[in-house]
Amino acid sequence: MRLALYQLDMAIAALRAVQQLKGPADGVLRNFFRENNKLGVNDRTFIADTVFGVLRHFFSLKYITGTTIPRLLTLAYLAKFRGINLRELKPFITEAEIKQLIKIKEMELDSLPLTIRTEFPEWLVEKIQAKMLDTNILALGLSFQKQAPLDLRVNTLIANRNDVLTRLSKDGIDASETSYSPIGIRLVRKSTIQSHEMFITGNIEIQDEGSQLLGYLLQPKRGEIVVDFCAGAGGKALMMGALMGSKGRIYAFDVSERRLNRLKPRLKRSGLSNLFPRWISNENDVKVKRLAGKVDRVIVDAPCSGLGTLRRNPDIKLRQTPESIEEARRGQEAILVSAAKLLKPGGRLVYATCSFLPEENQEIIENFLAAHTKFTLLNCAELFMQQKIPLDTGMFLQLYPGEHNTDSFFAAALMLARND
């Protein structure tokens, strides 16, 4: 596709809107496209890819351009990282910009400071240097600068993976089995899968493989009572409902009605009859307290920094701060304590985040176990081995994009002692 002036101008305008940091970049872009509804599919794809490309390389672009002006950041990204030839850009830019882009294209990035090469803010590099070598920090940062794949989950209530793969192949969509999730599919190239019949009829849902693996750590059984404590739009709750054969009850709790409303059309497509979305005001809501001691399994995908999703949400590095991490940590501790009260003896709790920071992960679990001695830590690798899932990251589940090609997920599985 040959670049047009209006596409460049719209990409710059979209980046300018995102840079105001008034909300997550994907939401800002949705509003931008809604306001500019005459843009075609190819236009929206170019604009979105450009904006997210700039965000993934924001610190590098800021360093080599010496500015945060949207126009120059966009041009530098297209020339340096997107590989667009300057001859293609020449009709749209000034002579001064051409000279600057020539210099930028010739710049070597390997000698830049660690914070620039990793695309991590300085405070984050300093925080993780206490736990990781600089070479490992660099590898982690570089892994987050790549685009994330698009993963699907097969709705096993009404479909199986082989049949879905056959249908996708027949329709010209390249896809393969995921490496770990027994019901996951990875698309080779991004596709407008939401318009495909398999999606519309509920046979497949969009869900990262790492998120799917949390369901296999929880291992819900038919007829049980299960709670998804921070359900959001319900991806994990829908998966658990299918694993349970739509038998038993799943309560999907969340403090955001807006997020729960996004679950409604997904629930309708899924064919499930055992999933019940419930809005709660906080972790101590009466709807939560009524279930104390009655629940077989609880999953807590706790609100967190989201740093493990930097491939998908690169603007997070511009919006998070040490203070917001600390605020999230306090909330995680309170939610975990409240969720644990729901379990009956012998029940299982899975605590998870999409973060790689120990203070949101291992330290939360260690502090909880020290204060709640009736809980024991289960071995995640053993739980996966029992289900013939070839994944061993030790006692905890810790996924990284470079090693596992998933979002960076952490999870711990806990069991409440039985009354023997």
Contacts 24+ apart (CB under 8 A), 70-76: 70/12, 70/13, 70/15, 70/16, 70/19, 71/12, 72/97, 72/100, 73/15, 74/8, 74/11, 74/12, 74/15, 74/50, 75/101, 76/101, 76/104
What distance in Å separates the CA atoms of residue 256 and residue 345, rounded to the nearest whole number? 30
| Look-up of token digits 């061993």 | 392
What single-letter DSSP state applies at residue 327? H
376 within 8 A of 415, measured Cβ to Cβ: yes
What distance in Å separates the CA atoms of residue 230 and residue 166, rounded to the nearest whole number? 34
What is the distance of C-alpha 350 from the center of its chain? 17
234 within 8 A of 228, measured Cβ to Cβ: yes
Residues taking part in catalysis: 354
What distance in Å separates the CA atoms of residue 409 and residue 420, rounded to the nearest whole number? 34
What distance in Å separates the CA atoms of residue 241 and residue 157, rounded to the nearest whole number? 8
Q: What is the 3-state secondary structure (H, E, C) of 205-220?
A: EECCHHHHHHHHHHCC
What distance in Å separates the CA atoms of residue 66 and residue 60, rounded to the nearest whole number? 10
The CA–CA distances, whole Å, from 176 to 168, 187, 391 equal: 10, 7, 18
| Max CA separation in the chain (angstroms) | 80
Q: Given the DSSP bridges, would you call strands 343-353 and 410-416 parallel, antiparallel or unpaired?
A: antiparallel
3-class SS at 414?
A: strand
Nearest alpha-carbon partner for 9 in 27, 1, 17, 102: 17
User: Which tokens belong to 209?
Assistant: 């493989």
